[in-house]
A = this chain, B = another copy of it.
Amino acid sequence: MAPARGGPVPPWPLSGRETLADYRVFRVRRDRAVSPVTGDAHDFFVLEGADWVNVVALTGDGGMLFVRQYRHGTGSETLEIPGGCVDPGDASPLVAARRELREETGYVSDDWSPLGDVHPNPAILSNRCFTFLARGAVRAGEPAPDGNEDLRVDVIPRAEVDGLVRSGRITHALVLAALHLFALSASGSRSGE
């Protein structure tokens, strides 16, 4: 009785698209799309914005870099890996990742590799988040955060990170997604060390 794995889901043809508002960090658009099943049109609200990057940055002595900051969506302090937006001046997500690591933590690395990219929420967000691994990160100077950021840098032993997820101290879904990509990579698996 279990359903078999079937063919592709048919796309929903667009019958309209309208930008409703621009809130600087994202724009809101309304798509009107036609159900391939019923033929009825439905409205879907979508947020458009820059792609994002985040970085699993490892120090030579077994640490992983984290930043703490006050987040206005939740009104609380979060513990996150470094990351941010791909700015118009960034030639690639990797360039953005290098810049964010340096700005947010003061650390640099010359050993970068991609861990994969995710859709932060394919239902309502059109963008992607590119995740990178930076090995052998070293402190090159003071962080240089934006005026609307107040960051603290924590270097946390890798062995403690799983516990911080389990205990609910790390709750940012994009950080958990990055840690999962890292865990599934050769570098993150026990056999890869």
Contacts and interface: CB of A to CB of B under 8 A. Distances in A.
Contact of A9 (B9, B36, B152): B152
Contact of A184 (B8, B162, B174): B162
Given A9-B150, A162-B184, A25 B45 contact: yes
- What secondary structure prevails in chain A residues at the interface with B? mixed
A45 B70 contact: no
Q: How large is the interface on A (under 10, 10 to 19, 20 to 34, 35 or more residues)?
A: 35 or more
A173 B71 CA distance: 19
B147 A40 contact: yes
A78 B59 CA distance: 35
A192 to B, nearest CB: 13
A124 interface: yes
